[in-house]
Amino acid sequence: MANNISERNPNAPSLGRVTFLDGQNEMPMLEVSTAWSTAEIYLHGAHVTQFKKKDEPPLLFMSQCSRFAEGQPIQGGIPVILPWFGQREGLGMHGFARLKSWDLKEFIPAADGSVSVRFRLPEAPESSTFPLFSAEYIVTVKETLTLQLTITNSSSKEELVCEDCLHTYFAISDITAISVSGLKNLSYLDKVANFTRKTQVEDPIRIASEVDRVYLDTTGTVEIVDPRLGRRIVVGKQGSRSTVLWNPWITKSQQMSDFGDEEYERMVCVESGNVGPNGLKLPPGGSSTLTVELSSTPLA
Ligand code: TA6
pLDDT tens-digit series, residues 205-222:
999 999 999 999 999 999
Spatial separation of the C-alpha atoms in residues 172 and 267, rounded to whole Å: 5
Spatial separation of the C-alpha atoms in residues 276 and 161, rounded to whole Å: 11
Spatial separation of the C-alpha atoms in residues 30 and 19, rounded to whole Å: 6
Residue 229 and residue 172 in contact, taking contact as beta carbons nearer than 8 Å: yes
Proportion of the chain in helix, strand, coil states, percent, rounded to 5: 10, 45, 45
**Nearest atom (ligand 1) to Cα of 167:** 1
Q: Which residue's CA lies nearest to atom 15 of ligand 1? A: 75
Question: Which residues line the pocket of ligand 1, CB cutoff 6 A?
Answer: 73, 75, 79, 86, 93-94, 167, 191, 212, 244, 246, 269, 271
Cα 108 to middle of ligand 1, angstroms = 32
Top mutation candidate among 84, 93, 99 for ligand 1, by most atoms within 8 Å of CB: 93
List the catalytic residues. 167, 271
Top mutation candidate among 49, 67, 167 for ligand 1, by most atoms within 8 Å of CB: 167
pLDDT of residue 1 exceeding 50, the answer is: no
Q: Which CATH number fits domain 2-295: 1.10.3720.10, 2.160.10.10, 3.10.20.440, 2.70.98.10?
A: 2.70.98.10
Cα 93 to middle of ligand 1, angstroms = 8
Spatial separation of the C-alpha atoms in residues 290 and 134, rounded to whole Å: 14
194 dihedral zone (left: phi>0; alpha: psi -120 to 50; beta): left
**Nearest atom (ligand 1) to Cα of 86:** 4
pLDDT tens-digit series, residues 266-286:
999 999 999 999 999 999 999
**Helices (DSSP H) in 42-84: which residue ranges?**
none
Q: For position 91, what pLDDT does the model report? A: 85
Q: What is the mean pLDDT of residues 145-170?
A: 97
pLDDT tens-digit series, residues 122-157:
988 788 889 999 999 999 999 999 999 999 999 999
Cα 102 to middle of ligand 1, angstroms = 21
What's the mean pLDDT when you consider all of the chain? 95
Task: State the DSSP H helix or E strand holding residue 288, giving kind and residue range, or none if neither.
Answer: strand 287-298
**Nearest atom (ligand 1) to Cα of 244:** 1
Report domain extents, the chain.
2-295
Cα 62 to middle of ligand 1, angstroms = 14
Cα 15 to middle of ligand 1, angstroms = 37
pLDDT of residue 115 exceeding 50, the answer is: yes
* Helix (H) and strand (E) counts in the chain: 1, 24
**Nearest atom (ligand 1) to Cα of 246:** 2
Q: Is 89 exposed, middle or buried (0-12, 13-18, 19+ CB in 10 A)?
A: exposed
Nearest to 79 by CA among 52, 104, 98, 51: 98
Single-letter amino acid, residue 266: R
Spatial separation of the C-alpha atoms in residues 10 and 76, rounded to whole Å: 38
pLDDT tens-digit series, residues 226-275:
999 999 999 999 999 999 999 999 999 999 999 999 999 999 999 999 99
Single-letter amino acid, residue 112: D
Q: Which residue's CA lies nearest to atom 6 of ligand 1? A: 212
